[in-house]
């Protein structure tokens, strides 16, 4: 968190100190697991801690209606167990029925890291796409692409640019006079990634979820703003100043002539008890039997809600047939970052801080044995006082990756805190699991290479 600008900077190497600030300052909501979804362990364990607009995603999963998951990876170096967290989530959403879009952000890497296109291609395939497939991604309803190779992304990025000013970019990202143009363009390119699944050629408006680290939230906020700015109409709930009764107003900013009338006509022909009023820039809809003389108590909110979704579906039809996008605001979730194996931040550029998905199994296991623990100075102390799992990279590995069973994890924690578990054996156990994972992953990567041709990859 950058104190001076009070902004999150997706390109800085600073860790995030205070997750609570995200709720207070940026309006991220807590992620709650209160429904009967078959949640991923990251969700069950609070690793995925925040969300924006997750409701439509939960709803789409439950009702088995169309939705997408989209994520992007900037090729930087080795992909490691931090990237695995994003990959695991993409695959989880695919299992819940999502269409999958994965972009390799080569334009961003070109602009921000100064990487050549060739280097981006190689890293993109070898480090990200192959591991993603090895972890379980299936080719059905999946598009893998490099930003630079997908014309619709570049076109949309350009169009979005008309709604972004330099002062906005500097307040969101802290850009200043020396920021170069391509870096700025990479921001609308990422927004275009996120909106891509909603383009007509990819199926049109639908809920899209972006599982991300909190550092990516500035991009999400920018995109959510752009989604509504690009649309022809706003659908708003309002209250009549005189009667206090709620109504729904459809406002067209630069609506094509006749479209408000078309919306009015479509809504009225589809319902019996609706009154409406058309003005130059908006058309308002009221529920008739909600008038104040009625002895019945308010019918809200059910009839009102269904009126709203009825109106929204007609707005969508009219907007799409008049060349508009009618984007839904994208949804997002936020996960905690793992700390580095030696404490501090996990970083692609510090091999000892992470375990790369292509680390040799034996040396990956050794890294676990060298990791920082929450153990005490001596056996005796440990037995008496117990260890501190909350300050232990070994426990963190179990928590994030190496233990799927919540009961087992709780048992490990209890044994640690009570002093029953000693760091030596604990490390060996974690190290063995990591070695096995890396060994199997390497094998699966070889198979993944052979199945590459089953996937649609735009590059």
- Three-state DSSP at 253 gives coil
**Site membership for ligand SF4, residue 394 (CB under 6 A):** yes
**Site membership for ligand SF4, residue 61 (CB under 6 A):** no
Q: Which is nearer to ligand TRP, 142 or 382 (CB)?
A: 142
CB atoms closer than 10 angstroms to residue 333:
22
Question: For the window 59-98, what string marks contact with ligand TRP as x by the rule CB under 6 A?
Answer: -----------xxxxx------------------------
Separation in Å, CA 126 to CA 136, 143, 191, 291, 445 = 16, 17, 25, 64, 9
197 within 8 A of 206, measured Cβ to Cβ: yes
53 within 8 A of 38, measured Cβ to Cβ: no
Please report how close the Cβ of residue 45 comes to ligand SF4 at its closest, in angstroms. 15
β-pairing, 246-252 with 208-213?
Answer: unpaired
**Site membership for ligand SF4, residue 389 (CB under 6 A):** yes
Q: Which is nearer to ligand SF4, 124 or 374 (CB)?
A: 374
* Cα–Cα distance measured from residue 20 to residue 372, given in angstroms and rounded to the nearest whole number: 26
Q: Which does 375 bind (CB under 5 to 8 A by kind): ligand SF4, ligand TRP, none?
A: ligand SF4
Q: Which does 326 bind (CB under 5 to 8 A by kind): ligand SF4, ligand TRP, none?
A: none
**Site membership for ligand TRP, residue 226 (CB under 6 A):** no
Stretch that binds ligand SF4, among 202-210, 211-219, 278-286, 369-377 (CB under 6 A): 369-377
Q: Which does 212 bind (CB under 5 to 8 A by kind): ligand SF4, ligand TRP, none?
A: ligand TRP
The size of the interface with ligand TRP (CB under 6 A), counted in residues, is 15
**Site membership for ligand SF4, residue 224 (CB under 6 A):** no
Q: Which one of 67, 286, 334, 395 is in contact with ligand SF4 (CB under 6 A)? A: 395
367 within 8 A of 78, measured Cβ to Cβ: no
Question: For the window 7-46, what string marks contact with ligand TRP as x by the rule CB under 6 A?
Answer: ---x------------------------------------
- Three-state DSSP at 209 gives strand
Phi-psi map region of 450: left, alpha, beta (phi>0 left; psi -120 to 50 alpha): alpha
Q: Which does 218 bind (CB under 5 to 8 A by kind): ligand SF4, ligand TRP, none?
A: none
163 Cβ neighbours under 8 A, 6+ residues apart: 226, 229, 230
DSSP H or E run through 435: helix 423-451
Q: Which one of 10, 82, 124, 387 is in contact with ligand SF4 (CB under 6 A)? A: 387
The size of the interface with ligand SF4 (CB under 6 A), counted in residues, is 14
363 Cβ neighbours under 8 A, 6+ residues apart: none
Q: Which one of 426, 438, 448, 457 is in contact with ligand SF4 (CB under 6 A)? A: 426
Q: Which does 373 bind (CB under 5 to 8 A by kind): ligand TRP, ligand SF4, none?
A: ligand SF4
Q: Which is nearer to ligand TRP, 190 or 259 (CB)?
A: 190
Q: Which does 392 bind (CB under 5 to 8 A by kind): ligand TRP, ligand SF4, none?
A: ligand SF4
Please report how close the Cβ of residue 362 comes to ligand SF4 at its closest, in angstroms. 20
Please report how close the Cβ of residue 413 comes to ligand SF4 at its closest, in angstroms. 7
369 within 8 A of 427, measured Cβ to Cβ: yes
SS (H, E, C) 150-203: CHHHHHHHHHHHHHCCHHHHHHHHCCCCCCCHHHHHHHHHHHHHHHHHHCHHHC
- What is the token pair recorded at 358? 């292509």
Stretch that binds ligand SF4, among 51-59, 125-133, 338-346, 420-428 (CB under 6 A): 420-428
Place of tokens 């919306």: 263
Residue whose beta carbon is closest to ligand TRP: 72
**Site membership for ligand TRP, residue 207 (CB under 6 A):** no
The DSSP line for 84-143 is HHHHHHHHHHHHTT-EEEEEE-HHHHHHHT---HHHHHHHIIIIIIHHHHHTT--STTEE
**Site membership for ligand SF4, residue 84 (CB under 6 A):** no
Distance between first and last Cα of the chain: 35
Q: Which one of 100, 423, 434, 448 is in contact with ligand SF4 (CB under 6 A)? A: 423
423 within 8 A of 375, measured Cβ to Cβ: yes
**Site membership for ligand TRP, residue 58 (CB under 6 A):** no
**Site membership for ligand SF4, residue 441 (CB under 6 A):** no
Between 259-269 and 302-321, two packed helices, what is the crossing angle to 10 degrees?
140
* Cα–Cα distance measured from residue 228 to residue 84, given in angstroms and rounded to the nearest whole number: 32
Interface positions, 163-222, toward ligand SF4 (CB under 6 A): none
Q: Which does 346 bind (CB under 5 to 8 A by kind): ligand SF4, ligand TRP, none?
A: none
Question: For the window 164-193, what string marks contact with ligand TRP as x by the rule CB under 6 A?
Answer: --------------------------x--x
* Cα–Cα distance measured from residue 370 to residue 65, given in angstroms and rounded to the nearest whole number: 47
Binding site for ligand SF4 (CB under 6 A): 373-375, 387-389, 392, 394-395, 416, 421, 423, 426-427
């Amino acid at each position: 968190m950058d104190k001076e600008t009070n902004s999150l900077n997706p390109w800085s190497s600073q860790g995030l100190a205070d997750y609570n600030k995200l709720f207070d300052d940026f309006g991220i909501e807590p992620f709650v697991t209160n429904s009967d979804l078959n949640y991923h362990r990251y969700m069950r364990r609070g690793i995925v801690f925040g969300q924006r607009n997750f409701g439509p995603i939960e709803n789409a999963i439950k009702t088995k209606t169309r939705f997408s998951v989209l994520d992007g990876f900037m090729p930087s170096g080795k992909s490691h167990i931090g990237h695995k967290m994003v990959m695991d989530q993409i695959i989880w959403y695919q299992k819940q029925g999502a269409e999958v879009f994965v972009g390799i952000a080569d334009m961003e890497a070109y602009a921000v890291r100064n990487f050549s296109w060739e280097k981006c291609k190689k890293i993109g395939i070898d480090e990200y796409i192959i591991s993603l497939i090895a972890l379980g991604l299936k080719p059905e309803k999946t598009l893998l692409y490099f930003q630079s190779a997908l014309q619709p992304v570049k076109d949309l990025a350009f169009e979005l640019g008309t709604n972004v000013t330099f002062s906005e970019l500097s307040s969101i990202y802290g850009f200043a006079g020396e920021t170069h143009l391509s870096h700025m363009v990479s921001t609308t390119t990422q927004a275009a990634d996120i909106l891509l699944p909603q383009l007509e050629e990819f199926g049109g408006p639908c809920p899209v979820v972006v599982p991300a680290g909190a550092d990516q939230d500035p991009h999400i906020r920018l995109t959510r703003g752009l989604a509504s700015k690009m649309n022809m109409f706003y659908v708003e709930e309002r209250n009549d100043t005189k009667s206090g009764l709620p109504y729904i107003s459809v406002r067209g900013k630069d609506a094509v002539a006749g479209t408000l009338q078309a919306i009015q006509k479509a809504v009225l022909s589809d319902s019996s008890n609706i009154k409406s009023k058309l003005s130059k820039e908006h058309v308002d809809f009221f529920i008739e039997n909600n008038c104040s003389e009625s002895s019945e108590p308010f019918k809200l909110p059910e009839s009102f809600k269904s009126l709203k979704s009825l109106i929204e579906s007609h707005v969508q039809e009219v907007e799409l047939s008049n060349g508009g996008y009618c984007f839904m605001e994208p949804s997002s979730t936020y996960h905690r970052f793992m700390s580095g194996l030696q404490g501090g931040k996990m970083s692609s550029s510090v091999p000892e801080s992470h375990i790369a998905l292509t680390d040799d199994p034996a040396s990956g296991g050794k890294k676990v044995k060298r990791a920082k623990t929450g153990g005490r100075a001596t056996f005796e102390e440990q037995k008496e006082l117990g260890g501190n799992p909350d300050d232990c990279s070994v426990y963190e590995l179990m928590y994030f990756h190496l233990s799927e069973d919540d009961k087992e994890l709780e048992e490990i924690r209890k044994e640690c805190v009570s002093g029953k578990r000693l760091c030596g054996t604990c490390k060996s156990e974690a190290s063995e699991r990591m070695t096995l994972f890396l060994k199997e992953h390497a094998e699966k990567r070889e198979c993944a290479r052979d199945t590459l041709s089953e996937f649609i990859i735009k590059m």
